[in-house]
Amino acid sequence: RCLVLYPGTGESDIEVSLVPFSLQDDPDSILKVMEALSYTWGVPTPAKIIRFRDEAGRTLAVSPNLHDALVGLRQTNTCRSDGRIMWIDQLCINQQDNDEKSKQVQMMGAIYSKASRVIIWL
């Protein structure tokens, strides 16, 4: 999976969606624009909420540092109008599935090396 981060400003909700993605099957179209975010998870509390653009209107609690990164990266002057395609471990890996986490962690080097750009957020 990769993430679409939609543009926004100020205190509006952070909106994202997840898109199926495979390093092996991608015809390079996503890799040409996908950015990978490297950041510190930091202290997990107080958790901040982001919203998925789906029929259920799901929300997810994320670490404050990731929330701050998403706020900065979604600004309209740095984010395309149709969203920014990103790979972010906390969101693109199912954190409740240990098998998936194990497989995805092994692929992180390839994900970061094939991304069009890696953004570091401290």
Q: Within a 13 Å sphere around the CA of 78, how many CA atoms are in the beta-carbon half?
A: 11
Residues of the chain with pLDDT under 70: 26-28, 76
Q: Give the model's pLDDT for residue 25.
A: 77
Q: Give the model's pLDDT for residue 28.
A: 63
Q: Give the model's pLDDT for residue 27.
A: 59
Predicted TM-score (pTM) above 0.75: yes
Which helix (H) or strand (E) segment holds residue 68: the answer is helix 64-73
Q: Give the model's pLDDT for residue 56.
A: 85
Degrees, nearest 5: CA angle 95-28-74: 55
Q: Give the model's pLDDT for residue 30.
A: 79
Q: Where are the domains of the chain?
A: 2-121
